[in-house]
Amino acid sequence: MTDITRLSGLRIGAAVCGSFCTFEKVFRMLSELSDLGCEVTPIMSYNAYSTDTRFGTAEENNTRLAEITGHGIIHEIVAAEPIGPKKMFDVLLVAPCTGNTLAKLALGIVDTPVCMAVKSHLRNQRPVVIAVSTNDALSGAAKNIGTLRNYKNFYFVPAYQDDSIGKPFSMIADFTKIPQTIEAALDGRQIQPVLMPPM
Ligand SMILES: Cc1cc2nc3c(=O)[nH]c(=O)nc-3n(C[C@H](O)[C@H](O)[C@H](O)COP(=O)(O)O)c2cc1C
């Protein structure tokens, strides 16, 4: 049974990767988490923090994320390193999580602020919640998703095929399910079904 009132006061590290088309939805959810009383600290990969795309300039996106959360953005490896030692977060959310970051996490590569945040947070054996958004989720990235699902302390936000005809290997998390996924992860539970029908 989901009780999202438990989220009030929760310290969430919100790590954003370069799936720029999902920023709008993710930022909306982070705003909702703040409204629920969570303390949300944003973290961005180098690419998410510095790239201008048709989904907004880096400056626009960064300003908005900082405003929504009321916190400065962690965007350097050196700033992400203390996350574990200082026990900064109860849960670390990676949303959106790109195919690139999935691959790095599965292989233990730590060369971005997001990967550093995950590694540092995991030393405390606290949950990491992943919300995938990648066109190769059902092809090249599938093995990495499988690897991470077998790792302790990793939980996945339920996801669906967002365009099975046009992009047959693509999947995207249902970002509205982030609160429930976090709440279950705090109890060591993966919410189900993790694979959803198309919306
Ligand atoms: C406009 C745009 C949209 C992108 N969307 C996605 C996406 O939805 N999923 C994904 O895995 N990569 C996407 N990428 C590619 C990533 O940004 C790229 O792989 C980058 O290296 C990711 O770095 P990060 O994982 O450190 O954030 C996109 C790139 C651009 C320019």
Q: Mind listing the domains of the chain with CATH numbers?
A: 5-186 (3.40.50.1950)
Residue nearest ligand 1's atom 11 by CA: 98
Q: What is the model's pLDDT at position 1?
A: 59
Ligand 1: which residue has its CA nearest to atom 2? Answer: 20
Q: Is the shortest distance between the CB of 113 and ligand 1 below 6 Å?
A: no
The CA-based dihedral angle spanning residues 135, 138, 143, 144, taken in that order and rounded to the nearest 10 degrees: 40
pLDDT of residue 24: 98
Ranges of residues in the chain with a pLDDT under 70 are 1-2
pTM for this predicted structure: 0.98
